[in-house]
Structures are given as C-alpha cells and as structure tokens.
Structure 1
Amino acid sequence: MAKRILYPLMLILLAYLLFSNEDAKIIISGVAIFLIGMVFMEDGFKLFSGGILEKVIQKSTSSIPRAIGTGFLSTSIVQSSSLVSVIVISFLSAGLISLSGAIGIVFGSNIGTTTTAWIVSSFGVKIKISAYAMPMIIFGVLFRFSKSDTLKGFGNVLVGLGFVFLGISYMKDGFETLKAALDLSQFAIEGYLGIVVYIALGAIATIVIQSSSATMALIITALATGQIIYINALELAIGANIGTTVTAVIAALASNSNGKRLAVAHFIFNITTGIIAIVFLYQLADIVDFLASKLLIAQENYSMKLALFHTIFNIIGVLVVSPFTYKLENFLKGLFKNEKTSKSKPKFLDIGLTKIPDAALIGIKKEIFHLYENAQEVLSHGIYLHRHNYRGVHVDTLSKIVKNSKLDINTDVNLFYTNKIKSLYGEIVKFAAYAQESMDEKDKQRVYDLKIAARNIVESTKDIRDLHKNITIYLKSKNEYIKEEYNDIRLSIVTVLKTIYDIKDETDEIEILSALEVLKDSLKHLDILRTQKIDELIREDKIDKKMATSLINDASFAHDISKNIIEAMSILLIDSKDIQELGEKI
C-alpha cells in the first residue's frame, strides 16, 4: 500500500525538479544515463564472457578466502554486484555452491563495488571524459550488429562504458553550473549531527536510485565540484553502503530461503561495516591521509581519497566479519528453514539458471535424479517392496527378500504417477526449453540426451501401473507356479534398482559402463529363460491360458521397465561421450 502511494509521489516530485530547475535536470539525467550504462555493461559481460564468470563463481568457493577473492574480482570486472548476486542465488538454489561460499562471494562483492568509485575519481573528474564517451558508444553500437555473441557482448560493454562516462560528465557539469546559483557546501554539517544527517542522506539516495555505484558517482562528482565538503562525502559513502542493505532486503522479501539468507548476510555485513566506519570515522580519515601520501595521491585530491576510504572500510568489514562466516551460515540456516518441497515440485530448477548454460545443465541433471528418486519409490512400491528392503544388502539375498515380502504397501500407483512423476517431468521439459535458448549446439544436444533419460524414467513408471495390477492379483493366487513367476519378475526389477543404487556414486565411468552392460546381458538371458519357462508351464498345464497371456505381457513390461532405467542411467551416470558410444557399440 505504502509503495503504491510513494511511487506516484516520487514521480511527481521528479517531474517537478526536471521542469523547474535546469541544473537538477542535468544532474538527474546524468544519474539516469549512468544507470543505463551499468545495465548495458551487465548485459554485455553476460554475452562477452561466454559463461566464464559463472564457471569461475561455481568452481572458486571451496574456501572462504577464495570465495571472497572471487566475489571481489567478478564484481570488479563486470561492475555489477546485482548480476553476481543473481548468479550466486541461482547456484545456491540449485545446490551448486554452499551457503558459506555464497556469503564469501557477497563479502568480496562489496569490496568489488568500490572499483566504481576508483574509476569515477580517477577518470571522471580529472579529464573531459565525454570526449571518450561518444566514440565508445558509436563503436559499441556497430559491434552490437555483429552475429558473434562475443562481439555483441563487447559492443554492449563499450556502449555501457560510454553511457557511464557520459553520465558522469552530465553530473559533473550539472553540479558546476548549480554552484553558480546555489553553493550546497554552505550547508555542510560537522560533528556527530553531520554524521547522522549525511549517512541518512546517502542511504536514502541509494534506496531511491537503487544503485550504490550511481550514488558514489554522484557523491564524487559533487565533491569534485566543491558542492560538499570532504568529511560529509565520507559520511555519504557510509550511508550509500547502508542503503544497499535496504534495497537487498526489500528484493529478498519475495525470494526463496536462499535469497533471504544472502540478503540478511549482506545486511549484517554492511551494518557491521557501517558501525565500524561511524565509530572510527576520524581515525579512518587519518589512515586515508597516511595511505594517500604513500600511494602518491595529492593532498587536495579528495575524490580519490574518498574512493580509498570507501575501499578501506569495506576491507575492514570483511576482515572483521569473515572469521564468523560458518557461524553466520548456521544462524541463517536456522533463521530461514528450507521450503518444504513437494515431491511433485522441482528442487533444482531455479529460473535464474536458464541464462547460464553450464549451471542449467547441472540443474537439469540433478532434477532428473530427483525424478528418478520419485520413480524408484513408485517402482519399488509397485512390486511391493520398500527401498530400504534392498539398499545395503547383498545381491544374493534379494530372492529371499522378494519371497518373504508382504502385500502391505497401499500406494496408489496411478495417483503417484500423475502427481509426482508426470507433473515433475513437465517442469523439467519446460525449464529445458527455456535453458536451450542460451545454449550452443553441443549443450543443446546434451539437454536433448538428458530429456531422453527423463522420458525413459517416466516410461518405466507408466509400465509399472499395468504390471502392479497383476502382481497384486497373482501374488495372492493359490497357484504356486504363477506366484513363483511373478516373484521372478519382481526379482529382475529389484536387481536393476539395487545395482543402480550401488553404482550411482561411482566416479569411474568405465566401472559404471561395465555394471550397466552386465545388467543388459542378464536382462537378455532372463528373457530367454522366462520365455522357455512360460512355454513349459503351458505345455504341462501348470498355468491356464489367462495366466499365460498375463505373464507374457507382464514379462514384457518388466523388460521394458528395466531397459528404460538402464538406458536412462547410461546417460545420467556417464558424461563422457566416448564411453557412451563404447556402450552403444557393445
């Protein structure tokens, strides 16, 4: 409700400023152009990197220092903490990185955002940067017409940089002309009142603009033109850091538990950092003066000293908070419990992964294993066994387990298939369709193979529906011969399920292939023996013709179930195309 009222009021106020004050219009236009530039740069790096950024983030979170370094470097390069956050939340939701690794990246990303201040203070306020902006935009637009995604991405980056530089130029010109009519520095406030007022202003500006980088650019250009004094600029910078936590928390309200955890981690980090900066503001200012002299930054170059201050207090924040990362991780896991995921709902298909090919492939594969877990449950219950009956036991005991099992499982196989297999399969297919839009031909082929694996799993559960009916009937039969045949059918299926369970964590793909080939051979051998046995039972009048036709059909169902599961696992458990092709030749 409050947002519905505040948003129109902000638009009215903005319109008033734009039409009533020429200088304000130039400054606000500069901020808008700067933000457009950041968006172009973000999109450009997505195309230009070709998935490198995602691979680096995924593989560089094994320790907290590495995660922090990854967060710093990735944000420094792409100039977008929001892009990094989206990738991190997506990876976290798909189980590709740990929460502690994600928190480390967020900490490092905070340091990475300070590079914007260095760019603005180093180039934006010293030279006529607009002279470089136009050529960048022109060449960037030309590159955007290229057929190559890499060149398109590079074009977007150039356009983005051009707009960033142009926005800085507008802000600087706006403040310079404003000073002739109104010198804002006369409203400077020193002491603790100034700290409170300017921190609040910095936070509010960031909440309104929705970008701490744009706020820092605004602060630096105002400082460079003498519109604010140095100490107030430091306070505004602290406020900008605090303001980002508010925007992150607001964005996380509609997010999943992982998004909320990262938002709170970000909030705790920035508030802690802000408190340290406020308490030791004047001491940090002295440290900045000392380091500036060592870094050959001129005494009067307040813009670069502000950038240095911004970097120092974020580094101090990381040094103070990062030793408590694992405790913070446990706290956040307790604060936000994982959403209870229905078996019919996807666990690893975060929509953010659709734009990240490698991560999308991993997410699809994990979700198909989730589908198989569901299928394994209904297949086991369909032959009147629980999964714990055959997991962890020797294969030689399976025959005894099957014979001694009771018909005490009341799973509605049809309902299970509809609610927990078919619906989840539909989600996988839908996600895969979106993910393939961002993939090259090789990745699209892998998705196609994974979809075949998913389809095979689904087909196996369709067949168990028909088989289950006759198993229920004939296991209650007084005819021991037909009962024995159906127990053999159950045994053949449970042997496949147990073997898959035993090899699913195997890392040697040759060993996996060997185990699957043994299953295929035993399946063929069983079919031959079963056909001979059925013929013999018919000739000796041990089963009637109705039993015989049911047995023939159900033996076919059992064969198809096992065959589909084996083929699905040959795709899911073997990544090497060479080994897959070797299996096909065998």
Structure 2
Amino acid sequence: MNIFSICTLCGGLAFFLFGMHVMSKSLEKVAGGKLESTLKKMTSNPVKSMALGAGITIAVQSSSAMTVMLVGLVNSGIMELEQTVGVIMGSNIGTTLTAWLLSTAGIKSDNIAISMLKPENFAPIVALIGIAMLMMSKKKKRQDIGTIMVGFAVLMYGMQLMKDAVSPIAETKGFSDMLIAFKNPILSVLFGALFTGIIQSSAASVGILQALAMTGAISYRMAIPIIMGQNIGTCVTALLSSIGVNKNAKRVTAVHMSFNIIGTIVCLTLFYIANGLFNFSFVDKPIGAVEVAGVHSVFNIMTTVILLPFSNQLVKLAKKLIPNSKEKEDEVLLDKRLLANPPLAASQCRERTKEMAVMAMEALHEALSAMFTYTQKGVVSIEEKEQELDVMEDHLSTFLLELSSRNLTDEDSRTVTELLHSIGDFERISDHAINMIEIGAEMNQNNQNFSDSARADFATLFAALTEISEITVRAFSEQDTNIAMTVEPLEEVIDDLTATIRDKHISRLRTGECSPELGVYLSDLLINCERVSDHCSNVAVSIIEIGQAKLLNHEYMTALKAKRTPQFIENYTAYGQKYRLAEN
C-alpha cells in the first residue's frame, strides 16, 4: 500500500460521506410532512416508538440526524424525554440498513442477474436515471428523487474506491502487525468508537470495515468489538448537539450513550462467555461484508431486546447523570437544531403558530367580555397573553426567516410564506385586545357608561367578532379553505355594523342620549373592532391563496369582492340576518 492508495482511500471516504449527505437530505425532503405525522403518533408505548424510530431513520438514512432531531424536539418542549427512549432504540436498528446495502459490493457470481446487484454494475445506471430526472423533470419531488439516486450512486462509488484502495493492504506486513492489537477486544472497541467519532458517521465507518473485510484480513474476533465500538462512536454527534440545550435535552444524549455503552458491555461479555464455553470455530475465520452487516444488525437488535424492558431505568439513569439544577432554565420556543430537517421545522412552526392563534383568540374574548364587566384580574390575564404573543411572534419570525433560506420543498415554502403572513396578524389581534381593555379601564375609572342602546349594539358586534375569530382560528388550524371562505363575508358584515353603530351614536348625540366624551371611547372601540376583523380576513385570505398557489393578497381580495360569488352573497346575507342591530 503506497501514498496513492491512501489518497484513493481518502477520496473514496469523501465520496462516500458526500453521497450519504446528499441522499439523506433529499430523503428528508421527499418524506416531507410525513416525519411530522409520524412523530405525532408517539405514545408512551416503547415498542411503537421503537418501530417509528426505525422507520424515520431508514427514511433519513442517519441515526445521528435522528438523535440530533430528538435533542431539538425535547429542547423545544415538543417531546418528552420518556418518548425518545424507544425512538433511539429503533434508530439503532434502522441504521443497519445502510450496511446491508453496502454489503452488495461483495457479491460474486457469473449469473448476469445476480452480478447486476453489485454496486459497481448498477450504480452507473442509477446515476444516469437520477441525472435525467434532475435535468428533464420540472417537478420538485421528481428532482429530489433524482438527487437521491445520484447521491446513492456517489456513495456506492466511494465504497468501491475504498475497497480498491485497501485491496493491497492484506499483503502489507505493517498492517498485519497492527491487526494483532485488534485481537484485544477493549482496544478494538476503543478504535471503533474513536474512528466513528472522528468522521461522525457510523455508516461510513462500517463501510470502511466492510471494505477491509473484503481483503480477507479481518476476522470475526476483530470485527465484532469494532462494530460495537462504532455504535458508541456515533453518539459523538448527539453529544456535540447537546451543547447549550436545557438539561432535559442533554438527557436525550445521556440515554443514547447509556444505551450503546451498556449494550456493548452486555453483548461483548455474553459473546466472550459463550465463546469460552462453546469455543466457537468461526471467531478466527475471515469475515465478509455481508457478515459485517449481519453482526451489525444482530448486535443492535440484541441490545434493543435486552434493554427495551428497562426503558424507564435508562431515563432514571439519565436524570441521575444530569440532575436538575435550582436555577430556572430559559424556555425554548423552537430549537435551531430543527432547521437541519426543514420539513419537520416547518410543521413545528405551524404548531407554534396554532398556539399563537388560540392565545390571541382567548385574549380577544377576554377583552370583549371585560368591556362591560371590568375586573383587574381580567386585565392582567390579557396583558400576560399579549406579552407572550409578542415574544412568540419575534422568535417565530426570526426562525421562519432563517428557515426560508434553506432548501425547501414547494409545499414547505408555501407553509413558511403563509406563517410569515399570519403570525403578525395574530399578534396584532392581541394588541387590539389590549387597546380595548384599556378603553374599558379608562371608562371604568371615569365612571363613563354607554347607553343601553349602545351596549345592545356592541353586544351584537362583539358576538360577530367572537364568531369571526373562532372560524379564523379553526380555518387556520385545519387548513380548511371552505371555512376560510366564510370569513370575508362576515368581515364585511362587521364593517356594516361599525358604520351603523357610528350613525346611531350621532343620532343619540343629537337627542342628548349620549355625550361627546363617550363618542371618543365609542370611536376608538369601533376602530379596534374593525382592525380585528381585518386581521382575521388577512389570515383567511392567506389560507385561501396559499391553497390556490396565489401570492398577491391585494389582487386576490379585490377579485374576491368584485366577483361576489353566489356562495359569498349567501354567507353575507346569512351573517347580516344573524347580526342585525335593534331599531331605536
């Protein structure tokens, strides 16, 4: 083995890692919101969580990415620590698929059909198809599938380069002398952990081991502890990702490390005890690429079977290793680690925006209720909600802007656009709720009260505002364009109500039933009511236009009002009848 072989080995590793990265990212994009819907199914059932963890890891082709995702989800308070244990176990099983794919490099046969299973034979065809899809298809999803195919071909080409580079290694005396050290299981475990930790990819380290195994220089005795060490080394990525997170998120990494370390100790001990009792004949025989994949799978499945009943104990161990501190930790709305998985990040942004929507609606309802039954407790509750919404809007807008710069699918791009439009509207609704309660507080302080007629009018207007806020939040939460279509007719009815209430107030002024001072309060209150309905309309239009792939709010709104469809007229008429003001 000379300097050129080392260069080829490094180049092969580079191609391998690059192909894995490209394939993993594209798989995440193709999976899209399915990751979110899968995570929503998480329960306290460890077996179900394990199956889901394996499925997601197979989808993204990276157990490290899965663990980093879990750290981010726990740090954001989206998942509980207990839910992650089964996912981590399943992730270790899911990551073994890569080794089985790589093991096809060792296939030898004169049969053409079987020979075509070798990467060096079918990878170029996969690459050609992938390039054709990238260049000829205009659909984003097909382009992503093409990228997956190209990434897979590059990965396999890297594997082939590594295999060719290490082929002469079996004839090198220095290498033979070095292998003697790997007969010590502890050194082998440490080597596997260290090497995997350096390159931060268990798939790559297993691939290199498979390439070495094809030379016939690696025995089962050497490979088994190295494979176990590789599982420990893959924790390095999670360890690095846990820097700067809260203690509960750090415990995710502690669970991951504990699981792999305990699994290695238990399985290695059982293997050597069994070997001592039964004297396995295969331990000193050369191991092949397929056998490496088999050992990798058996180890991870055995570790999971052994430790799955002790899931709660792993959580307790993590809590003992990282105890609670007396200092209160800052809450994280959305952890930036989620940006590594844009589809998941986009779906979590929507969940947080739904929380904003509900909170804004509650603040509005409390303000409307407190206008005529003023209490200081109600004021404090609304102010707390408004402050929290300010913080959420600031964090979400920053996060969404950063997310928008990532490589997003068309669907995720539309989601980000819609949310950026909506979060400002929900935050402004809470601002108007504050304005309303301040008007109520000032009227209470100055002993000012609207006339019975004005109060009755406002009761009707407030009922309409309550309904428009409810249907807006429902339309946003369910992404239902049919519900969103009913918002604009009600917004116009509210505009009609505010205009009529102003006219009626002028009439009362002329008769002396109301004072000019009350006119100031009435005008300010009506302006805030109009603004709330306008913001509800903005959110509804955003839902409709995103659903119809339109982006110009003003043009769309103008067309909607000008067209006056039968459905629009029907809804407008129904709401007009429902919210009629009493005659003086």
Q: TM-score, normalised by structure 2?
A: 0.72
DSSP 3-state at the match of 2:184: helix
Aligned residues of 1:513 and 1:570 also touching (Cα < 8 A):
yes
Aligned residues of 2:18 and 2:151 also touching (Cα < 8 A):
yes
Aligned to 1:563: 533
Aligned to 1:212: 202
CA shift for structure 1 position 458: 3.3
Aligned residues of 1:207 and 1:244 also touching (Cα < 8 A):
yes
The residue identity in structure 2 corresponding to 1:194 is N
The residue identity in structure 2 corresponding to 1:425 is E
Structure-1 separation of matches of 2:463 and 2:312: 42
CA shift for structure 1 position 563: 2.3
Structure-2 separation of matches of 1:519 and 1:328: 55
Structure 1 residues 230 and 464: CA distance shift in structure 2, 3 A? closer
CA shift for structure 1 position 365: 3.1
Instruction: Work out which of the residue numbers 334, 356, 367 in structure 2 matches 1:371.
Output: 356
Structure 1 residues 198 and 526: CA distance shift in structure 2, 3 A? same
Aligned to 1:177: 168
The residue identity in structure 2 corresponding to 1:31 is L
CA shift for structure 1 position 380: 7.3
- Provide the alpha-carbon RMSD of the alignment: 5.1
Aligned to 1:282: 272
Structure-2 separation of matches of 1:30 and 1:107: 30
Structure-1 separation of matches of 2:145 and 2:156: 16
CA shift for structure 1 position 34: 2.0
Instruction: Work out which of the residue numbers 24, 33, 51 in structure 1 matches 2:6.
Output: 24
The correspondence of residues 73-92 of structure 1 with structure 2, limited to 5 A, is 73-76=55-58, 78-89=60-71
Aligned residues of 1:42 and 1:83 also touching (Cα < 8 A):
no
Aligned to 2:96: 114
Structure 1 residues 529 and 326: CA distance shift in structure 2, 3 A? farther
1:223 is the counterpart of 2:213: yes
Aligned residues of 2:105 and 2:160 also touching (Cα < 8 A):
no
The residue identity in structure 2 corresponding to 1:317 is T
CA deviation string 1:315-346 (max 9, x = no partner):
1111122223356457757958798556xxx7
Structure-1 separation of matches of 2:545 and 2:318: 35
DSSP 3-state at the match of 1:197: helix
Structure-1 separation of matches of 2:545 and 2:139: 28
Percent of paired sites with the same residue: 20
CA shift for structure 1 position 267: 0.9
Structure 1 residues 340 and 479: CA distance shift in structure 2, 3 A? same
1:475 is the counterpart of 2:444: yes
Structure-1 separation of matches of 2:518 and 2:299: 81
The correspondence of residues 144-155 of structure 1 with structure 2, limited to 5 A, is 144-146=134-136, 147-155=138-146
Structure-2 separation of matches of 1:104 and 1:416: 36
Aligned to 1:10: none
Aligned residues of 1:220 and 1:303 also touching (Cα < 8 A):
yes
Aligned to 1:6: none
DSSP 3-state at the match of 2:349: helix
Aligned positions, number: 537
Structure-1 separation of matches of 2:301 and 2:420: 46
Aligned to 1:51: 32
Structure-1 separation of matches of 2:381 and 2:275: 71
Greater relative contact order structure (CA < 8 Å, 6+ sep): 2
1:166 is the counterpart of 2:150: no
CA shift for structure 1 position 194: 0.6
Aligned residues of 2:140 and 2:410 also touching (Cα < 8 A):
no
Structure-2 separation of matches of 1:166 and 1:268: 35
CA shift for structure 1 position 39: 1.6
1:456 is the counterpart of 2:425: yes
The residue identity in structure 1 corresponding to 2:16 is F
The correspondence of residues 249-264 of structure 1 with structure 2, limited to 5 A, is 249-255=239-245, 259-264=249-254
Structure 1 residues 69 and 369: CA distance shift in structure 2, 3 A? closer
Structure-2 separation of matches of 1:445 and 1:122: 40
The residue identity in structure 2 corresponding to 1:61 is M
Aligned residues of 2:487 and 2:540 also touching (Cα < 8 A):
yes
Structure 1 residues 430 and 284: CA distance shift in structure 2, 3 A? farther
Aligned residues of 1:457 and 1:568 also touching (Cα < 8 A):
no
Structure-2 separation of matches of 1:328 and 1:489: 59
Aligned residues of 2:42 and 2:49 also touching (Cα < 8 A):
yes
CA shift for structure 1 position 42: 1.4
Aligned residues of 2:9 and 2:165 also touching (Cα < 8 A):
yes
Aligned to 2:576: none
CA shift for structure 1 position 40: 2.5
Aligned residues of 1:124 and 1:169 also touching (Cα < 8 A):
no
The correspondence of residues 357-436 of structure 1 with structure 2, limited to 5 A, is 357=343, 359-372=344-357, 375=360, 383=367, 405-407=374-376, 420-422=388-390, 424-433=392-401, 435=403
